[in-house]
Each structure stands twice: as structure tokens, then as C-alpha cells.
């Protein structure tokens, strides 16, 4: 079943043609990766979905069959789409607890408590820093908090923008493994945007390759791994 559907989406961002006639869909329960180098339009794609960037007219963005185009970003978030933005964007002057709390505005206080407790169980380092100002956390902990916020929101679809950015490989590994676990145990759907092809391929069911705003390749992960162009990209990130 199609959860998220994107048809013929073009968008300009910062004066550049960031997306050109992109088609993409995510089924319920899938992990889908969008791979591509810096500046390929990956972040713009997520920003279009969450309503922060308006696409050019003529395209379709729909969630559960309902159009998201022109809907205010906060209302899109409340429909159950959590966007973990590039650079994590935690609220630095709010405590860890408060960061999680404000992410759960669409659910009632009781459910928010349960969800918060689950996040602390998953990321024990956060549990010991509940009252600490989020700006004082390490990069890895901040990424955990950013993902934690998405989990507290009780969403159906999590979109993550470059979870590996600026983090040590060990931590990246840990975060990706946790993501996979969450996926399976909670029945969530994941859309990941990454430069790190190697890790994303391990995690994903299907992959899209985005290059200069266009989808140049897409398919199940096993097929993508065989592709020559993909091999280049795959090895390029190895260096």
C-alpha cells in the first residue's frame, strides 16, 4: 500500500532547480533510501514533503492518498510525518526532556509520557541527561535526541536527512542498527536521505539515486548493488 506518493515534482530552492520531475513512492512498512552526492536535491525533496518548500505547480505529493501540497508544515507533521532535519536541529536551550515533550504536541500527555519512556529505554545515554540543556550533548547524542523526537511524535513515517553527517562511524553504525530495530518492532516506515551509500544499502529495502535533481536509478536494494553507476558511487564513498 502506497503511504507516500510523489509524482512529477519540480522545485527551485535558493534560485537553483533543485528537483526536476521527481517520481517516488514509499509503501507502508518499507525502508527507502534516497542516495546522492551533496547538492543533488535530497534535502529539498524532504523539505517539499514536510511543506517547508513549495513545489512548482503540476505535481503531486500525497500521504495516505491525501494531498500535502499547500498544507502548513505543522499540520503535515500532525498527520504523522516526522522530519528529522539536516544537522539534527535540536532546540539547544531546551532540556533533553523538553525537546522530547514539544515533539509530542499531537498526542495527549499520558501517551507522551509512555513514548518518552520508550525513547529513554532505546537511547540510555539520553536517560542520564534528561535535565541537561540539549546544546551540551555530543553530536551522536544530539542525533539520538533528534530521532527520539520523531519517535515521541507517534508518527507513521520518519524522514531522516543525513543521519551520518559529522558522526564517528561507530556511532553511525549504532544509530542505523537502532533505526532498523525500531522499524521492525514498531512497524514504522522510513525514508532516509544519505550520502553514505554503504550504510544506507544495509538498511534499506529499496533505493532511489538522485543526481542533479533527477532520479537516475531506482529499484530494490539487491539490484541497485549490481548496478555499475551505483558501484562507482558506492566505492566513491569508501575512499
Binding site for another protein (CB under 8 A): 50-52, 72-74, 77-78, 82-83, 85, 89, 91-94, 98-99, 101-103, 105-106, 109, 133, 135-136, 149, 153
Q: How far is the CB of 95 from another protein (least distance, A)?
A: 9
Site of grid cell 543525513: 162
**Least separation in angstroms between CB 152 and another protein:** 9
* H or E element, residue 186: helix 169-186
Q: Are strands 31-35 and 206-211 parallel, antiparallel or unpaired?
A: parallel
Least distance from another protein to the Cβ atom of residue 134, Å: 10
The conformation of residue 95, written as its DSSP 8-state character, comes to: B
Shortest separation between residue 189's beta carbon and another protein, angstroms: 17
CA–CA separation, 236 and 139 (whole Å): 25
Sequence-ordered list of residues with C-beta below 8 angstroms from that of 179, at least 6 positions apart, any chain: 147, 160, 163, 190, 192, 203
Question: Could you give the CA distance from residue 77 to residue 82 in angstroms, rounded to a whole number?
Answer: 6
**CB nearer another protein, residue 158 or residue 171:** 158
CB of 84 or CB of 230, closer to another protein: 84
Q: Which is nearer to another protein, 76 or 207 (CB)?
A: 76
Q: Which residue reads 507517534 in cell numbers? A: 154
Nearer of residues 101 and 118 to another protein, judged by Cβ: 101
Amino acid at each position: 500500500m502506497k503511504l507516500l506518493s510523489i509524482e512529477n515534482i519540480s522545485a527551485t530552492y535558493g534560485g537553483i532547480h533543485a528537483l526536476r520531475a521527481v517520481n517516488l513512492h514509499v509503501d507502508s512498512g518499507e525502508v527507502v533510501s534516497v542516495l546522492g552526492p551533496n547538492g543533488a536535491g535530497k534535502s529539498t525533496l524532504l523539505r517539499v514533503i514536510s511543506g517547508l518548500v513549495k513545489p512548482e505547480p503540476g505535481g503531486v505529493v500525497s500521504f495516505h492518498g491525501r494531498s500535502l501540497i499547500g498544507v502548513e508544515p505543522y499540520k503535515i507533521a500532525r498527520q504523522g510525518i516526522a522530519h528529522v532535519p539536516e544537522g539534527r536541529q535540536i532546540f539547544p536551550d531546551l532540556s533533553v526532556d523538553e525537546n522530547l515533550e514539544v515533539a509530542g504536541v499531537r498526542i495527549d500527555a499520558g501517551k507522551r509520557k509512555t513514548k518518552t519512556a520508550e525513547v529513554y529505554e532505546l537511547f540510555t545515554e539520553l536517560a542520564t541527561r534528561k535535565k541537561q540543556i540539549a546544546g551540551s550533548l555530543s553530536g551522536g547524542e544530539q542525533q539520538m535526541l533528534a530521532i527520539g523526537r520523531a519517535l515521541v511524535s507517534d508518527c507513521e513515517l520518519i524522514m531522516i536527512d543525513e543521519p551520518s553527517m559529522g558522526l564517528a562511524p561507530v556511532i553511525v553504525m549504532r544509530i542505523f542498527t537502532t533505526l532498523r530495530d525500531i522499524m521492525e518492532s514498531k512497524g514504522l516506515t522510513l525514508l532516509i536521505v544519505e550520502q553514505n551509500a554503504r550504510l544506507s544499502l544495509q538498511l534499506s529495502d529499496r533505493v532511489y539515486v538522485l543526481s542533479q535533481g533527477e532520479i537516475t536509478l531506482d529499484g530494490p536494494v539487491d539490484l541497485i548493488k549490481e548496478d555499475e553507476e551505483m558501484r562507482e558511487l558506492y566505492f566513491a564513498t569508501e575512499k
